A and B are shown apart, each in its own frame.
Chain A
Amino acid sequence: MLLIRCPYCEEERPELEFRNAGEAHIARPTNIAAESDDDFEKFFFIRANPKGVIYERWRHIHGCARFFNAVRDTVTDKFVMTYKAGEPKPTKLPGAAK
C-alpha cells in the first residue's frame, strides 16, 4: 500500500484514504457553451496515457476531503510529488534524472 503526501494535511497517509480523480491541469473553458466540437472533444474526451511521469488529480476523500494534484511515475508507480489544486504545473521535479 502506497503512502501519499496530502499537501493540505502536510503528511503522508495510506493510499486507502485517497481516490484518483483523473488527469490534472485540464481547465474547464470559461465560455464552455461556445466551444467547437473539436475543442470540446479535446477538453472532455482526450487524455494523455504516458509511460512515465503523469500529472493527476487526487482527492483525500477519507481525510481532509481536498482535491490536490500529484506527479506520479506510471512505470515505477512512485509518487514524485504532490501539490495543491490551483498551483502551476511543476516544471522541475525533485530527483528527476534529466
Chain B
Amino acid sequence: MNAMFRISGAGRLSQAKTASFSFDDKSYVGIEGDTLASGLLANGVHLVGRSFKYHRPRGVLSAGAEEPNALVQIVRDDARKTPNVRATVQELYDGLTAHSQNRWPSLSFDVGAVNDIASPLFSAGFYYKTFMWPKSAWKSLYEPKIRAAAGLGVSPDKPDPDHYASRYAHCEVLVLGGGAAGIAAALAAAETGVRVILADEQAEFGGSLRFESGARIDGQDGYAWAQAAIARLKAMDNVRVLSRTTAFGYYAQNFVGLVERVSDHLKNPGHDLARERLWQVRAGRVVIATGAIERHMVFANNDRPGVMLASAARTYLNHYGVAVGRNVGVYTANDSAYAAAIDLKKAGVNIAAIIDLRDNPAGPVIDEARALGIEINFGRAVVSAGGKLRVSSMTVQPKHGGGGRTIPVDAILMSAGWTPSVHLFSQSRGKVAFNDETKRFVPGTYAQDCVSVGACNGTDGLDATVDEAYAAGAKAAKEAGGKAGKGARPKVDAGESWSRGMLGAAPGAGQGTTVKAFVDFQNDVTAKDIRQAVHEGMHSIEHVKRFTTNGMATDQGKTSNMHGLAIAAEELGKPIPQVGLTTFRAPYTPVTFGSIVGHARGALFDPTRRTATHGWAASQGAVFEDVGHWKRAWYFPKAGEDMHAAVNRECVTVRKVGGLFDASTLGKIEVVGPDAARFMELLYTNPWEKLETGRCRYGIMLREDGFIYDDGVVGRLAPDRFHVTTTTGGAPRVMNHMEDYLQTEFPHLNVWLTSITEQWAVIAVQGPSARKIIEPLVEGIDMSDEAMPHMSVREGKIYGVPTRLFRMSFTGERGFEVNVPADYGEAVWEALWAEGQKHGATAYGTETMHVLRAEKGYIIVGQDTDGTVTPNDAGLDWAVGKKKTDFVGIRGLTRPDLVAKGRKQLVGLKTKDPKIVLEEGAQIVADPKQPIPMKMIGHVTSSYWSENCGRSIALALVAGGRDRMGETLYVPMPNGTIEVEVTGMVFVDEKGERLNG
C-alpha cells in the first residue's frame, strides 16, 4: 500500500520494494531507496524535531547533507544509538528505528518550548551575559543545568561494537563530487589512463541531476546519463568509484580525508562489514566539483514544518516520488523555485501562488509556470508563515509595505539563490573572491594543485559546467602524467540555468523588526540576533559568529553563513567583502570518532612487546607489569602468597641461593668499527680506550648540559666491538642520541651502530649459586673467578646455543647475564631453570629486581634521577674520566649551577620506625614545625620493604645530602610526620664481598 503522499509514476524508486520503519514508536511504510526524510514525508510527516534553544517544532528543510533541522536518533540496539543523524542522509532499511530529539515529554507537546515564549530572555550572547554572577554558582548550578538542557540526542552508554576500516590510496586525479561536473571531469581524466578516484556523498551519483528534470545529455535524461557514465567508469581498471563517501577534509599537499558509509544503510550489516571506512587519499591533482547549496528566505516563522528549500521539494518529487504537500506556496528571489513549482503542478499538486520578490523578472520558466495557470505575484514578500506544528498559511504583502493577504498552504517552497560550496577549496587554503555582480564567493587564488568546476566555481548552466569540467579533468590528468584521451565531451542537449537571488533578511524581517526570522536553524539564530550583535559592538564577522553562534552548529552554516554575513554587513553599512567570510574548517560534515580511530583501539591501540620467556612466566602464574610497551614479569606468587609475601621470598632466596630473572627488555646496541672506542669515549663519561677485550664497565651517558641521560653495562667483545646495554625505556632515545652525534657531529669516525635489543634474550642468574647453575650448560668458557672475574664478558656456547656471557651484577651477588639469540631464549631459560631447581633457586620479577638493587644503592635512571641530576649528585663521580678532554656533557658539568654547593644529592634514608615504608615521591623537610608552605629540601626516589634487612629502606634526593649523614629529617604525610635518618646508599654488604661470594 502506498503512503499518502507517494505519487504513482513519479520518482525513480521501485514502489514494489517496501521498507517498514518506525519514528517515535509509530510504524510507517517507505520504499527501498528512500531516505528517512523522504519516507516520513511520503507519510505526510513534516514535524521531526525540536530546535536547540527555543524548542520550536521543526521539519525537513533540505534533501541533503546541509540539513540543519531534521536531526534524529537512530537506534539499532543498546550499543548502537547514533544521535544527530540527518534524516535527509540516513537511508531507509526495513526495520529502521528512529526517535526525535530535544523534546519532553513528546514531540508535539514539548515543555521546553516555554523557551520560545520566553525568548526575549534568550537573546544573542545570553550565556555570556546571564551566568556571570555569582562566580561560585557556575560550577555548582549553571554549568550542570546548562549541560543537562543542552545537546541533542542521547549518547550510547556501551562500547561501540562496530568496527571501522581505514585505507590509504593514491591517484593522479581525485574528483570530489559526482554530479554532472564531477562525472564529466572523471570521464575526461579516466580516458587518459591515469588512476582516478571519484567520490560522492550520496547513495546515487548525479548530484542536481537527481532533481533537474529538464537536463538532457548525450540524447538521454540527465540522471540516466549519469548512471550510464558511472557504469562506464566503474568498468575501467584505473578508476575507483566511491558512493556514500564524503570528502570531509582537504589537507596539505593534496591529502584529502574521505569517509565512506559502508553499512549504515543496511538492515543486517553483519560483522564482516565495517560500519565506515576512512580513506586517506594523496592525489596528484584534485578536481573539486561540490556544487552549490540553495539558501532559504529569511522571513518570520520560516522554520515552521513544511517550509523547505525548493530544490529539496523537487528532489523529493523527482527522485523519491513524494509530494511535500497538496497545496503548496512558493516564495522566491530567483528562477529555480519556478522549476519546482512546475514539476509539482505537473504531478498534480496545487500551487497556491508563487510569491517572487523581484519586480519584473522574465524568462522561459516564468512563462511556463504562467502557462500552467499558476498564480504569480511579483514584487511581493511572504512576511510570515502561519501554523505551529505544520505551516498552514503564508501572509503576503507588497515588498515595500501595504495591505497583505493570507493564503492557506500546507507547504512553502523557498529559494533565495544558490551558494557555491567552496568549503573544500577554502580548506585547501585557497582564497575566495567575492563576485559583486552575482553576490557570491567563488574560488579566487589557489594554494594547491586543484581546480574547482561547475556550480562550486560559480559556473552557471549545465552546458558551461560540463564543458568546464571535462576540460579541467583532461588538463588535470595531463599535468599528472596522463596521455591524450580518446573520448568525446558529453553533449548537453538541454539544461537548466539560474543564478542570482538575494542575501540577508527579506522584507518584513529587515532592520527595525524583531520577528523570528531564522538565519541559522540549527542554532536558533535570527536576523534580529545578528543585528543585535552588531549593535553590541561585534564588528568583525568572526565576533558576530561567536557571539550569536551563527554557523557554529554541526551543519557549519551551510545554508546560513551568507545570510548572516549580509545582515551584519547591512547593519555595519559596509560592503560584504569588507566584513569578510568566516573560515571553513574540516570536517565538512560530522565525522565519527570510530572512523578516525579505525582499528587502533583495545589491544590494537598500542603495540605490546613480549619477551621470549613470556609464555613460561605466564605458565608459572607470574603477574605482569607494563614497562613502556613491554610486558614484564612483576613477581611470581606461589599458592597463597600476596605480592608482599612473594617479593619477600624472592628477595631472600636470591641472596641465600640464587634466582633467575628475564632482563631481555634492556636496550642493547652494538657499537662496531675501527673508531668504536673513540666513539664510546665521546658518548660516555668513562674512559674506554684502555678497557681490555673481554672486560665490562658501567657507563654513564650525559646530555650536553651535563645531566645523566642513561646508564648501563658495556662489554668489549673485541678491540673494535662493544656490546652496550641501556635502560629498558631509554633504548630508542639512546640509539637516536648516538646516531645523531655519529652522523652530524662526529661523521669522521668510522663506526656502525646496530640495535640488537630484539636479537638477544637476556637471562640474569644471580646469587651465591649462580655459577653452579650455569656451569653445567656452558661449553668453551672457563668460569673460574681467575679466568672470568666480576665485570667480564666471554663468548661461547650454552645449552648448545651461542652466548655472550656477562659476569655482572645488579643485585650485589655473584651474577651472570646470559645473552642468547632470542629464538632460543625460552629453551635456554628452561634449561637454566631446571639446573636452578636443583639448588633451590627462584624465578624473580621486576619488583624483586628493584628491591635488590636498592639494597645495594644501584640507581635506576629515570626513577632516582629526573633529568636534573649530575653524576656527582648521584654519587657517581668515580665514573667520570678525570683525564678526558672531551665527551658529550663535559662542558655542561662545569656550568656554575652544576658545581654550586647545596645541590640535591642521592642518599639513603632509614625511617626511625623500621616498619614504616615511605611513599616514593614524598617530600622531605628539615623542620616539621615550620609554617605551611614548608621549605622542601628533597624527595624520596625509591622506597621498599627489605626482607633481607628486616626493615624499610629508601633512596632520596636531598639538598646537600652527603653533608647530612646521620641527620634526622622529616617526611610530612597526611597521617602525621615520619622521622628519617640520612644514611649511605648501600644497605647490604657495604664492602661488596658478595660479588665473589
Contacts and interface: CB of A to CB of B under 8 A. Distances in A.
A21 B252 contact: no
Contacts of B740: 21, 59, 67
Interface string B519-563: 000000000000000000000000000000000000000000000
A35 B891 contact: yes
A28 B896 contact: no
A59 B736 contact: yes
Contact of B744 (A65, A67, A78): A67
A55 to B, nearest CB: 13
Interface string A50-87: 00000001010100011100000000011000000110
A33 B744 contact: no
A67 B739 CA distance: 8
A44 B895 CA distance: 12
B896 A37 contact: yes
A65 B890 CA distance: 27
A32 B251 contact: no
B886 A85 contact: no
Given A32-B891, A67-B744, A85-B743, A1 B704 contact: no
A3 interface: yes
A66 B895 CA distance: 32
A37 B895 contact: yes
A20 B890 CA distance: 25
Contacts of B896: 37
A2 interface: yes
Contacts of A35: 891
Contacts, number: 49
Given A1-B252, A85-B744, A33 B895 contact: no
Interface residues of A, number: 23
B895 A40 contact: yes
Contacts of B255: 1
A47 to B, nearest CB: 14
B272 interface: no
A69 to B, nearest CB: 9
Interface residues of B, number: 23
A24 to B, nearest CB: 9
B253 A2 contact: yes
Contact of B890 (A27, A33, A86): A33
B747 interface: yes
Given A32-B886, A59-B736, A66 B743 contact: yes
B885 A33 contact: yes
A86 B895 contact: no
Contacts of A28: 704, 745
B810 to A, nearest CB: 30
A3 B253 CA distance: 7
Nearest to B429: A76
A24 B280 CA distance: 32
B467 interface: no
Interface string A14-30: 00000001000001100
A59 B743 CA distance: 10
B116 interface: no
A32 B252 contact: no
A31 B891 CA distance: 9
B891 A40 contact: yes
Contact of A33 (B253, B745, B891): B891
A65 B732 CA distance: 12
Given A59-B736, A61-B736, A67 B252 contact: no
Interface string A32-44: 1101010010001
B972 interface: no
Given A1-B255, A3-B253, A57 B891 contact: no
A32 B703 CA distance: 13
Contacts of A27: 745
B94 interface: no
B495 to A, nearest CB: 39
B743 A33 contact: no
Given A37-B896, A44-B704, A86 B252 contact: no
Contacts of A66: 743
B744 A57 contact: yes
B170 to A, nearest CB: 11
Interface string B717-751: 00000000000000000001001100111010000
Contacts of B894: 33
Nearest to A24: B744
Nearest to A78: B252
Contacts of B892: 40, 44
Q: Which of B280, B745, B891, B896 counts the most chain A CB atoms within 10 A?
A: B891
Contacts of A57: 744
Contacts of A21: 740
B895 A77 contact: no
Interface string B136-174: 000000000000000000000000000000000000000
A1 B743 contact: no
A35 B889 CA distance: 12
A78 B743 CA distance: 25
Q: Which of A31, A40, A77 counts the most chain B CB atoms within 10 A?
A: A40
B251 A1 contact: yes
Given A32-B891, A59-B736, A86 B745 contact: no
Nearest to A69: B744
Contacts of B891: 32-33, 35, 40
A1 B282 CA distance: 9
B979 interface: no
B705 interface: yes
Interface in B688-704: 704
A4 to B, nearest CB: 10
Q: Which of A32, A57, A85 counts the most chain B CB atoms within 10 A?
A: A32
Given A1-B252, A35-B891, A67 B745 contact: no
Nearest to B742: A67
A83 B154 CA distance: 54
A78 B447 CA distance: 11
Nearest to B743: A67
B694 to A, nearest CB: 31
A44 B705 contact: yes
A59 B741 CA distance: 12
What 6 pairs between A and B have smallest CB-CB spacing? A32-B891, A67-B743, A28-B745, A3-B253, A33-B890, A85-B744
21 contacts: A2-B252, A2-B253, A3-B253, A3-B282, A21-B740, A32-B886, A32-B890, A33-B885, A33-B886, A33-B894, A35-B891, A37-B895, A40-B891, A44-B704, A44-B705, A44-B892, A57-B744, A59-B736, A67-B739, A78-B252, A86-B744
Given A33-B891, A44-B892, A86-B747, 7 more contacts: A3-B253, A27-B745, A40-B895, A65-B739, A77-B252, A78-B252, A86-B744
